[in-house]
Amino acid sequence: MATKNRMDTEEEREKKRVNLADDPSNRATVQMDLHLLPPEILLEILSRLPITSLIHFKTTSHAGYDLIADSRLPPMFRNRVSDSDPCLILFNYDYPVSRSLQLYFVDIEDCSRRGRKIDPPQHSKVNNLVGSCNGLLCLSLIGSSWRSHSLLIYNPSVGDAVRVPPANQFLNQSEVFGFGFHPRTGEFKVVRIVCFDVEEGEELTVQVFTVGTTEWRTKGATPRRLTGPPEVLVEGTLHWVTFVRMGGDDPIFGIISFELADEVFEEIPHPPCQRFVSRGYRLSVLNGCLSAAGLVDTLHFDIWVMKQYRVKESWVKQLSFDPSFPSKWPSFLRRYPRVICALKNGEILLWYNNSPFASLVSYDPVENRFKTLQMSGLPNWFEAVPFLPSLFSAKATMNLQF
């Protein structure tokens, strides 16, 4: 009987807590109580909240809006955000409905793991996600024609954006863009690699735009033709996997980098495994280090980590496992994964392309166990990139310290 009374008491308390939150007069009292706290204490509390709570607080409270607009909060919040605890930006093409890229935000730490759709400003239609860096997204927007694209630097947490001025256009051009930040210069930059027709054949040129300036600068050509966007940003440097040469009957792939401070290309030593680099691989960032991962054979998916950046001898094979796992999809639909990031609990977050479905799976290397992450509010198929939320304005991107 005593146990039942205690349970009833807990239920009553919970009901009162819910009613307290739902009552507008009580919400006003909470806002008044906030003003009684010193601003330094309030900012310290806010800096420890997840980005979803901050956005909700900002949009539902005048006091919250003023507090989150305080210029002291963005650096405090950034110092609390961990690279091993990222949120995610998920995206897919809404074809043939709108023929534009649809963006979603997911907080891995949120128990609901509900996807929240991101609506770019001014109802812009997105053609491609160029990159994600320090809370900012670089988006390629659909222009007046299918070959006409413009770029937008956008902070989905704050809601503001900066347009990138148009670059020079060339005859029969194809473009590859990259986006990143260098901690030494404190600058965000967009890199544009253009392949276009000339009388003698094709020509490559590289252009760089520093966010906060007004025009593009030409930097010469790339050492190799790059056919896709850079995969990762490490140490203020963008990285591509590209074909290097033929090794007998097998192609050999290598890593090309573009350092954003000095704006130079360089070839980065690849992992010392012939079979690995001849099969093709993808790059990621694990605990701040450059990582390469790919399929060696049907039973071995290897993850290599460069412990000391640019040092060939520091490549270490960190993990090797069979990437197949029990799934709701038939075996003939299963594809092999791509590494997204490391989680703070030591697990590795993997993206599986099981077209027409996709899934996010955490892999526990200690227990050799896979777990599919259940999420809601998302399309069946999507791609994913890590995203570290930021409260810095996209319009104030000069000389930021991260």
pLDDT at 397: 64
- C-alpha 98/C-alpha 351 separation (Å) is 25
- Residues of the chain with pLDDT below 70 are 1-35, 61, 63-65, 82-85, 94-98, 143-149, 198-199, 201, 247-249, 278, 325-335, 397-402
If DSSP codes are grouped into helix, strand and coil, which group holds residue 68? helix
Which segments of 269-337 are extended strands (E)?
282-286, 289-297, 300-306, 315-321
pLDDT at 121: 81
- C-alpha 298/C-alpha 303 separation (Å) is 15
Burial 152-185, CB ≥16 within 10 A → b, else e: bbbbbbbeebbebeebeeeeeeebbbbbbbbeee
Domain ranges in the chain are: 2-79, 81-387
Query: What does CATH list as the number for 81-387?
Result: 2.120.10.80
Is the distance from CB of 315 to CB of 305 less than 8 angstroms?
yes
Is the distance from CB of 268 to CB of 291 less than 8 angstroms?
no
Provide the H-helix boundaries in 37-106.
39-47, 51-60, 62-68, 73-80
For 233-289, write each residue's pLDDT tens digit: 999 999 999 887 776 667 778 899 999 999 999 999 988 887 777 677 899 999 899
